[in-house]
């Protein structure tokens, strides 16, 4: 790499050579923008940003790309004379090996690979640190929304206490549709697949794996700690019923799948991190409630900054390419200047709090026998588990009554045990809906 | 300045010495955070960030601050052995002279001074460029919301087409209150003053000067052009009536004071920038409509990224201090590495489009004579001015009828001329409300 530090370097500087790994929806947009916006990018980066090669599995399948740049050999391209590797293939291996090779050789890496980062960010960051190279990954969470950079840089002088957001478009589309049509989960998933909003195999989205990877990345950055996808408590949306949605509506709430990363302070002052993905009831007045369809939005709370929200498109070729290009310009600029961007740092090194010990609030909707004393019996079960009740609403029907209970904060395990005990009570005909509550005091 | 480029510099590096000019609400928060978060800041910046002096008008009035750091002589502090000047005094002179001195001596500057930047950003940027120093000003627009950095860095590979937002908390508080109470402007302003949401002299806020400064800063950054406050078309909220608000409500809309910065492409392909601040009707379903009270929010549209929104607290000591600290860490880091951050660039140098030639849409509410042919006569006046009508709603009352017209896009001057002509028509009893419309197709 012959590009040395130069202040105010113009476009006479040696070009920054870029290897592009993968050229699908996002990659082809990146390749297009690199060509079309070349002058603009050079002005911003301080040197021309030059596409040196594109690794694709089958070069003959890409007649639209400059043929001399194509190669099926990603490993060789990574080892060649390039300064930056942009990885848009996804998955763990062989990508992990290629990116470690690149970083160890001092090449900077820009990637959108959330699964890889959620599992191996420690290893990748250490390789980047050791070689003085950059590792940027804005596109890995919430597509086009500038989120990681503000967390890492703009809030660098602040103390983040919570990051909570809608980070998966497929599940948000399904829950939004269930909310507006009143239809059930299976039916709505079919409709989403038909419209192209859900993959043929929707597991990664609907079971929350995708959101959990993003939660791990967000928690690591926000709290300067190492949180992997395996540390994230994960519940998907497949058990959300039309009854849950109706129960939420009746209370002026809506159901969203949220990634929630929180700094939890114990009574003795010890801090830990809670990271979880699960369906949540939030008030319709909450800014996240209005985020519909395939959009993403992330709420951040910090000591000094207060509440912030970032909203935009979470996926798609062009939006994700915009995030990749932003990173690429930053990385190229750092190389021209001979420096590195702010590192991801795990210096706080907070432990991850198990879900059972994480304070949450429950909304519980029950069908109970319509006779005196039932509320007292049910309330006693909550009390037995040390769970305090915030609000109760009771409504008579024919032979049964509907009982809605919202709790105060309690350890999740205590709430879970309460629900289990209540489900076994003779006076309880049915546990209609159980859901955690966020966004209200 | 003895801090040279060092990769992976630890905290053994020479400290970055900071001069703080002004120590009011924001400054005292900055001073506090610099002390309390010293370790954290050093870890992020790569060197200790040290408060070298605080310039205040009357040192004896600040017993809460470390006395040995205080000085009434800001000019001498700027000239002393400091690396970064943080300016939180406000106003043009003598601040402009001090900051130019600092930049020319190669010291980096962090400022929240929107009035200064909206008028002299060209001069300040050139001084920074010439000396290889940084000029950062995240806190000047939308307080704690990380907005300028995403515009400048995250979207560096994208093409921004529009930036539109609520950037003044006082006027948003007043309009939100008018919307919920139905009260008039004067009455609501009194209430806002009583509650401390409006200054004793509210001119800068209610007449749109504050928002116009911010629009100039946003337009300059987003379109890489020089836009000053004087280039921004400015209308405040003092002429917004209870009738306007009621008319908006009747149509499922609400009224907001927006700063609107747009890239306008003429028929011949020539690009220009429109920058304006005025009251606007937006649909209640628009994300900006739900931004209430003293909050700020800014919508950004870019070719690849699509629609983005940034939301948070626009003012206040702690939120603004958070933005200042973020900048300070970045500037300190750049010094430790021996480089500079991405420069504000005016390379596109687009001309500013006069308001009269800017395409806008009007909502017009009229009381007209209740007799046949009135709509035809009114519609003819629109047609005579080349303004095409998108929607009409007519409702009979006793002897008058209410006529509501929403236009398609037309040059603002044509719309203004239309309204003037309509006001003179015999069949028009009263022009009840005229307001521009945004956020719908």
- The answer as to CATH 3.50.50.60 being correct for domain B355-437 is no
Q: Which of A337, A334, A339 is nearest to A110 (CA)?
A: A334
Indicate whether A102 pLDDT > 60: yes
- Mutation site for A-interface testing, chosen from B133, B158, B162, B327 by largest number of A Cβ within 10 Å: B158
Architecture of the domain delimited by A16-144+317-337 = 3-Layer(aba) Sandwich (3.40)
Nearest CA in chain A to B129: A8
Tokens read off for A361: 């609030």
Which residue in the set B144, B309, B339 is minimally distant from A311, CB to CB? B309
Nearest CA in chain B to A325: B157
Domain ranges of chain A: 16-144+317-337, 148-312, 355-437
Inter-chain CB proximity A149 and B145 less than 8 Å: no
Provide, as residue numbers in chain A, all residues whose Cβ is less than 8 Å from the Cβ of B159. 37, 40
Average pLDDT over residues A389-408: 86
Architecture of the domain delimited by A148-312 = 2-Layer Sandwich (3.30)
Q: Longest Cα pair distance anywhere in chain A, in angstroms?
A: 85
* Number of residues that this document lists for chain A: 441
Indicate whether B14 pLDDT > 80: yes
Give the C-alpha separation, A78 to A99, whole Å.
Answer: 8
Cβ partners under 8 Å of residue A202, min gap 6: A170, A189, A192, A193
Nearest CA in chain A to B155: A326
Q: What is the pLDDT of residues B162-187, one digit of tens each?
A: 999 999 999 999 999 999 999 999 99
Report the binding-site residues of B. Answer: 21-28, 114, 199
Average pLDDT over residues A268-297: 92
Query: Which numeric CATH code is attached to B151-313?
Result: 3.30.360.10
Q: What is the pLDDT of residues B103-154, one digit of tens each?
A: 999 999 999 999 999 999 999 999 998 998 999 999 999 888 989 988 888 8
Tokens read off for B17: 């010495």
Q: What is the pLDDT of residues B228-261, one digit of tens each?
A: 999 999 999 999 999 999 989 988 899 999 999 9
pLDDT of residue A8: 41
pLDDT averaged over chain A? Answer: 90
pLDDT of residue A343: 66
Work out the pLDDT band at A344, boundaries 50, 70, 90.
low
Which residue in the set A156, A306, A312 is minimally distant from B313, CB to CB? A306
Inter-chain CB proximity A304 and B153 less than 8 Å: no
Inter-chain CB proximity A318 and B340 less than 8 Å: no
Provide, as residue numbers in chain B, all residues whose Cβ is less than 8 Å from the Cβ of A156. 41, 44, 325-326, 329-330
Give strand pairing partners of B313: B295
Which residue in the set A150, A157, A322 is minimally distant from B325, CB to CB? A157
Does B105 participate in catalysis according to the annotation? no
Report DSSP letters for B65-129, one per residue: S-GGGEES-HHHHHHSS-SEEEE-S-SSTTHHHHHHHHHHTT-EEEE--HHHHHHHHHHHHHHHH
């Amino acid at each position: 790499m012959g590009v040395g530090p130069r202040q105010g370097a113009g476009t006479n500087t040696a070009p920054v050579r870029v290897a592009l790994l993968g050229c699908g929806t996002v990659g082809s947009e990146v390749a297009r923008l690199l060509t079309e916006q070349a002058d603009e990018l050079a002005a911003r980066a301080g040197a021309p940003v030059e596409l040196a090669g594109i690794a694709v599995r089958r070069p003959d399948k890409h007649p639209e790309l400059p043929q001399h740049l194509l190669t099926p050999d990603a490993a060789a391209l990574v080892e060649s004379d390039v300064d930056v590797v942009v990885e848009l293939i996804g998955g763990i291996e062989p990508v992990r090996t290629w990116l470690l090779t690149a970083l160890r050789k001092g090449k900077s890496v820009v990637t959108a690979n959330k699964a890889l980062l959620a599992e191996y960010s420690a290893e990748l960051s250490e390789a980047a640190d050791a070689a003085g190279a950059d590792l940027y990954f804005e596109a890995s969470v919430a597509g086009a929304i500038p989120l990681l950079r503000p967390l890492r840089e703009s809030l660098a002088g602040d103390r983040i206490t919570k990051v909570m957001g809608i980070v998966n478009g497929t599940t948000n589309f399904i829950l939004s549709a269930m909310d507006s049509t009143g239809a059930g989960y299976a039916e709505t998933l079919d409709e989403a697949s038909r419209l192209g909003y859900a993959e043929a195999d929707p597991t990664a989205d609907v079971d929350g794996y995708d959101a959990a990877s993003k939660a791990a990345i967000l928690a690591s950055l926000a709290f300067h700690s190492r949180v992997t996808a395996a540390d994230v408590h994960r519940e998907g949306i497949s058990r959300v019923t039309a009854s849950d949605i109706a129960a939420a509506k009746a209370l002026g709430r809506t159901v969203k799948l949220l990634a929630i990363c929180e700094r939890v302070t114990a009574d003795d002052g010890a801090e830990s991190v809670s990271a979880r993905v699960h369906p949540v009831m939030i008030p319709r007045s909450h800014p996240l409630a209005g985020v519909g369809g395939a959009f993403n939005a992330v709420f951040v709370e910090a000591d000094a900054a207060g509440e912030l929200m970032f909203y935009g498109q979470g996926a798609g070729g062009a939006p994700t390419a915009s995030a990749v290009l932003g990173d690429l310009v930053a990385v190229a600029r750092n190389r021209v200047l001979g420096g590195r961007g702010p590192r991801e740092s795990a210096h706080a090194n907070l432990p991850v709090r198990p879900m059972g010990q994480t304070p949450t609030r429950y909304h519980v909707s029950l069908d109970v026998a319509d006779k005196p004393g039932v509320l007292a019996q049910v309330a006693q079960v909550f009390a037995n588990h040390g769970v305090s009740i915030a609000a109760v609403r009771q409504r008579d029907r024919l032979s049964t009554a509907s009982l809605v209970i919202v709790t105060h904060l309690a350890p999740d395990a205590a709430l879970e045990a309460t629900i289990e005990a209540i489900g076994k009570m003779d006076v309880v005909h049915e546990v209609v809906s159980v859901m955690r509550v966020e966004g209200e005091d």
